[in-house]
Chain A
Amino acid sequence: MSAPILKVSGVSKRFGGFTALDGIELELGASERLGLIGPNGSGKTTLINCISGALTNDAGSIVFEGQDITRLPPHRRAALGVARSFQIPKPFRSMTVLENLRVPLEYAARGRTERRRIDADALEVLELIGLKNRAHDSSAGLTQVDMRKLELARALAAKPKLLVSDEAMAGLSSSEVDEILEILLALNGRGVAVIMIEHIMRAVMGFAQRLVVLDAGRKIADGTPQDIIRNPDVERAYLGE
């Protein structure tokens, strides 16, 4: 593994008396593809909320490219190159698809984007995602799969080094899942590290180079997909004794 781009050490998060995360350790190499799996309520979304800054962890530290980002608000992390997509798409509904991408280009990727290149950059992202023909349509009128694509496109427009994709494929048809997978692979091919949370096992197994399994706020396994499916702890977490 190359030098880690993200280092999560001893991260814990409590909500009242409930421990959502308990001493999570995680390292991610630059341009690595990581799958994050675990039963419902195991803390996957809490963990990526801590990584993207939507939540602040109670203990432990998060280091991104050698910089401690534990206390930074989400917009600063976005500017450093941490992007995320949301499980339930959150488009800027009053804007067109293209305008949706202008926001991260003008804010998160500011300083890494030339001002007069903004529209060109946005169109390039839309081309890669396959939404170019909808560029000037209202984002509120998109189909479900196009909304997911817009979600990824907007994350991508922030010119991230790490993309956290939270169940980008839930509820999509099999061919649509393949479309999204292709986009994520293309992205990764450009050197972006990806953390994928996904319940569709076919998608995670095909995509991830490494899997991390969470259960009840603890990391119970970390290894290649082949090792993970043979791991008895993982089997117990998913299927019970």
Chain B
Amino acid sequence: MFRNRGDVVFWIVLGAVLLAGFGVTQTIANEYYYTAIYAILQATIMAVAWNILGGFTGYVNFGSAAFFAIGAYTAVALDKWLGLPMPFLIAASAAVCGLMGLGVGYLTLRLKGVYFAIATLAMAIVLETLINNWDYVGAAKGVYILTPEKVPFFSSYIQLLFMVMLALTLGSIAISRYLNASRIGRGLAAIRDDEVAAECAGVPTLRLKLISTTLMGAMMGVAGAPYPFFVTFVDPISAFNLFVAVNSIAMPMIGGTAHWIGPVIGALLVGGAQEVITVTVSSELNVLIVGIMLVLFITLAPQGIVGLVQKWMKRRKR
């Protein structure tokens, strides 16, 4: 865990953020803040997860909303059927969406580039139709979730979920960071750069791609599991929202895809801006803002914010 000084700093920061989050729940009662930060945390997990396949491995997934929604609906269905507690629901969503990711991984055998992206988008549409017709989880009209009135340690269920989400977010960042610097991470980078050459250099490309898609799916499922309980109502339109998929792509692109911190920066920046704009300007306009930011970054700084900083540091060294 502590291989060098960077590791120590990383874990101290993680611990500090978690403590700060707990501190917030003990001092602030206004639920708006939790709703806003929860949205940013959820977007962060999605962005970090998308980046494992999109940034590290080089396969663009347009169907992120499907993983998120299936994660949410797995939790809804198991809650209704067995009434399992939250940790089990999260684990179950991770397992189901991980399997979904594994299936998508096999698509990479035949589909690359834009064809893979289209296939993932198509998968999302198929799954949305499925949920739209599944009465047990409310079908197209959606389903209300009852949440407990009282919880231990926190003054509301919202605050508890907020802490759960914060811990999950930090966990997903830690996984992504570890992967980025690992032998597997270097194998994934080789696949991204040239799959044929990677295979000839001894990289088991299929196995690594399956690891990548499975991990991505599981993490997106984890992001989706607490969502129905946080908003207490979920329907296919909100769960399969294209905006979820667009955000998952835009945030890593804006932050920078090659480095683990890129999607985190992107999610904090774009997610933060969205929350501010929703309150100060309008909730419709924030979609436009993301679009403009994405276009600007893709044309002017394709390596994202991380790339800009790296370029700047290199210039300073000279």
Contacts and interface: CB of A to CB of B under 8 A. Distances in A.
Interface in B150-200: 183, 186-187, 189-190, 192-194, 196-200
Contacts of B200: 52, 54, 74-75, 78, 83-84, 86, 155
Interface in A136-176: 154-155, 157-158
A154 B202 contact: no
Contact of B258 (A52, A54, A75, A94): A94
Contact of B186 (A78, A102, A109, A154): A102
Pairs of residues from A and B, 9 with the lowest C-beta to C-beta distance, nearest first: A108-B202, A107-B202, A90-B197, A92-B193, A78-B202, A104-B201, A90-B194, A74-B199, A103-B190
Nearest to B207: A75
B203 A73 contact: no
A181 interface: no
B137 to A, nearest CB: 41
B186 A103 contact: yes
A186 to B, nearest CB: 21
Nearest to A94: B193
Interface of A: 52-54, 73-75, 78-79, 83-84, 86, 90-95, 99, 102-104, 106-110, 154-155, 157-158
B307 to A, nearest CB: 11
Interface of B: 183, 186-187, 189-190, 192-194, 196-206, 258
A7 B171 CA distance: 51
A78 B192 contact: no
A108 B187 CA distance: 11
17 contacts: A54-B199, A54-B200, A73-B206, A74-B199, A84-B200, A86-B197, A90-B197, A91-B197, A92-B194, A92-B197, A93-B193, A94-B258, A102-B186, A103-B198, A106-B183, A107-B204, A157-B201
A223 B201 CA distance: 31
A75 B197 contact: no
A147 to B, nearest CB: 12
Nearest to A90: B197
Given A90-B196, A94-B258, A109 B202 contact: yes
Contacts of A94: 189, 192-193, 258
A158 B189 contact: no
A78 B198 CA distance: 10
Contacts of A99: 186
Contacts of B197: 86, 90-92, 154
Contact of A75 (B189, B193, B194, B203): B203
A107 B189 contact: no
Contacts of A104: 201-202
Nearest to A107: B202
Output the residue of B199, B200, B204 with the most chain A CB within 10 A. Answer: B200
A224 B205 CA distance: 39
B180 to A, nearest CB: 12
A100 to B, nearest CB: 9
A181 B199 CA distance: 26
B194 A110 contact: no
Contacts of A110: 202
Contact of B201 (A53, A54, A93, A158): A158
Nearest to B206: A73
B142 to A, nearest CB: 44
Contacts of A52: 200
Given A103-B198, A104-B201, 7 more contacts: A73-B206, A90-B196, A92-B194, A92-B197, A94-B193, A107-B202, A158-B201
Given A75-B202, A75-B205, A158-B202, A107 B187 contact: yes
A208 B204 CA distance: 33
A54 B192 CA distance: 18
